[in-house]
């Protein structure tokens, strides 16, 4: 079963690009000529280098370097080329500058339009460099929102000039106070919100048609567990004993969809309660019992592959923290021993249709193994479980 999972996992990347569709958009060349085309919408996180497009649905796929375009748009995404002054100082702790001042250079960059109105907000993202720019509606100049992390006497400090820039630009809007701006972090979500407020836009529409990035799923399920009793050492007339059982679990998956690549990646957590009870009576005149109840706290990533508007398949990988809730896990002839929780990886693959889904998970079900006298030898998580899911929202 485990080999099957890994085989499927390696095949899934082949489906990644097939889930990204060509959507209606346009390109504007260097001379200002505009052409309506179908563009492969990859919902780019970093600035795109190559754009794939078709003149219509039946023609071959064309490619053009993004920097050879003046502007392009697909769906609710728009990029445009601009001449800007940009500071490329690193925020990596090992490469922090020791000066507060920005080192600006003039460059021609592709900027993503985030908010449009009286004052527009743009983003440039390449590798570890993220910078934000703004431009007034009736002006041609793009201004960098100035921000820099630097070292001062071995302490990390911040040049937050962007706050003074915004205080000056937003001074004609009484809804935005200096305190609001002082609390403003240099992040896309926070900057978008304050630009949306300044421009008097509808937050739901401006943020992307009310798309909800956070989802909760109820996930009851069962796992297939087993218990192995090893015969006493040196014994030849007593065989090893194995017993299979059912582990019952109930989890709640918390999913946050990341804002790139068309919602294909998500951060997830799935707190779950799991319990199993295995009994072996009168094995070589002894009684054995496993009572295991635990709280599992997994954290990890999910990769969604959309089949259509209502259905998808997905794979996920998580690191699970286990907290055993009962003290007496192993019992042999009324003598009990405890077991310790641990940290272990789990993997899953599943299918969702609308609000309903089914999932197969590996590594979340306990496999117990004990010495003949009941001392815990190991508690592995190498079984598999099957669960159903219902999406609350």
162: confidence class by pLDDT, cuts 50, 70, 90 = very high
| 73-102 residue pLDDT tens | 998 889 999 999 999 998 887 788 889 999
Average model confidence (pLDDT) across the chain: 85
CA 58/CA 39 separation, integer angstroms = 13
CA 16/CA 287 separation, integer angstroms = 52
The pLDDT value given to residue 3: 44
Asked if residues 273 and 295 have their Cβ atoms less than 8 Å apart, the reply is yes
Element (DSSP H or E) covering residue 161? helix 161-169
Residue 56 has pLDDT above 90, yes or no: no
- Give pTM, 2 decimals: 0.62
Please state the φ and ψ torsions of residue 191, each to the nearest 5 degrees. Answer: -65, -40
- Averaged pLDDT, 243-267: 87
23: confidence class by pLDDT, cuts 50, 70, 90 = confident
- Residue 27 C-beta-side C-alpha neighbours within 13 Å: 22
Element (DSSP H or E) covering residue 190? helix 188-199
Gyration radius of the chain over CA positions: 28
Asked if residues 91 and 149 have their Cβ atoms less than 8 Å apart, the reply is yes
The pLDDT value given to residue 170: 95
336: confidence class by pLDDT, cuts 50, 70, 90 = confident
Q: What is the DSSP letter of 263?
A: G
- Chain centroid to Cα 54, Å, comes to 31
CA angle (89 as vertex; 84, 90 as ends), nearest 5: 130
The string of DSSP letters for 285-320 reads TEEEEEEEEEEEEEEEEEEEEESSSSEEEEEEEEEE
Task: State whether residue 237 is helix, strand or coil.
Answer: coil
The pLDDT value given to residue 377: 54
In terms of C-beta density within 10 A (0-12 exposed, 13-18 middle, 19 or more buried), how is residue 145 classed?
A: buried
Q: Provide CB contacts within 8 A for 97, sequence distance 6+.
A: 89, 90, 103, 148, 150, 151
Q: Indicate the pairing of strand 129-136 with strand 119-126.
A: antiparallel
- The percentage of residues in the chain with a pLDDT greater than 70, rounded to a whole number, is 89
Element (DSSP H or E) covering residue 11? helix 2-11
Write out the two tokens for 1.
Answer: 């079963």
| 372-388 residue pLDDT tens | 665 555 667 778 899 99
Instruction: Of 193, 191, 82, give the one whose Cα is nearest residue 147.
Output: 191
Q: Provide CB contacts within 8 A for 338, sequence distance 6+.
A: 324, 327, 328, 329, 330, 376
Instruction: Of 72, 69, 13, 4, give the one whose Cα is nearest residue 261.
Output: 13
Please state the φ and ψ torsions of residue 203, each to the nearest 5 degrees. Answer: -55, -40
Element (DSSP H or E) covering residue 345? strand 343-353
């Amino acid at each position: 079963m485990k080999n099957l999972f890994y085989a499927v996992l390696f095949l899934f990347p082949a489906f990644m690009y097939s889930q990204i569709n060509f959507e209606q958009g346009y390109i504007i060349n260097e001379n200002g000529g505009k052409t309506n085309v179908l563009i492969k919408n990859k919902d780019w996180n970093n600035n795109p280098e190559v754009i794939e497009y078709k003149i219509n649905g039946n023609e071959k796929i064309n490619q053009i370097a993004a920097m050879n375009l003046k502007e392009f748009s697909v769906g609710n995404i728009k990029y445009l080329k601009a001449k800007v002054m940009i500071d490329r100082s690193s925020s990596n702790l090992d490469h922090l500058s020791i000066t507060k001042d920005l080192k600006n250079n003039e460059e021609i960059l592709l900027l993503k339009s985030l908010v449009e109105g009286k004052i527009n907000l743009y983003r440039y993202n390449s590798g570890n460099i993220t910078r934000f720019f703004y431009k007034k509606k009736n002006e041609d100049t793009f201004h960098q929102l100035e921000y820099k992390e630097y070292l001062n006497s071995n302490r990390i400090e911040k040049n937050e000039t962007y706050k003074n820039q915004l205080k000056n630009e937003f001074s004609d809007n009484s809804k935005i106070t200096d305190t609001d701006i002082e609390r403003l972090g240099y992040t896309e979500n926070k900057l978008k919100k304050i630009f949306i407020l300044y421009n008097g836009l509808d937050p739901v529409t401006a943020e992307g048609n009310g798309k909800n990035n956070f989802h909760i799923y109820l996930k009851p399920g069962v796992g297939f567990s087993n218990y192995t009793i090893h015969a006493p050492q040196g014994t030849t007339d007593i065989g090893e004993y194995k017993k299979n059982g059912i582990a019952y679990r109930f989890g709640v998956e918390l999913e946050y969809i990341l804002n790139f690549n068309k919602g294909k990646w998500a951060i997830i957590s799935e707190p779950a309660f799991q319990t199993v009870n295995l009994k072996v009576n009168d094995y070589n005149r002894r009684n054995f019992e496993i009572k295991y109840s635990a709280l599992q706290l997994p954290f990890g990533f999910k990769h969604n592959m959309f089949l259509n508007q209502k259905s998808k398949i997905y794979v996920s990988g998580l690191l699970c923290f286990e907290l055993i809730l009962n003290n007496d896990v192993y019992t042999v002839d009324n003598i009990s021993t405890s077991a310790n929780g641990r940290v272990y990886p789990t993997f899953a693959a599943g299918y969702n249709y609308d609000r309903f889904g089914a999932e197969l998970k590996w590594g979340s079900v306990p496999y117990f193994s004990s010495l003949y006298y009941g001392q815990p030898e190991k508690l592995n998580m190498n079984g598999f479980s099957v669960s159903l899911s219902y999406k609350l929202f």
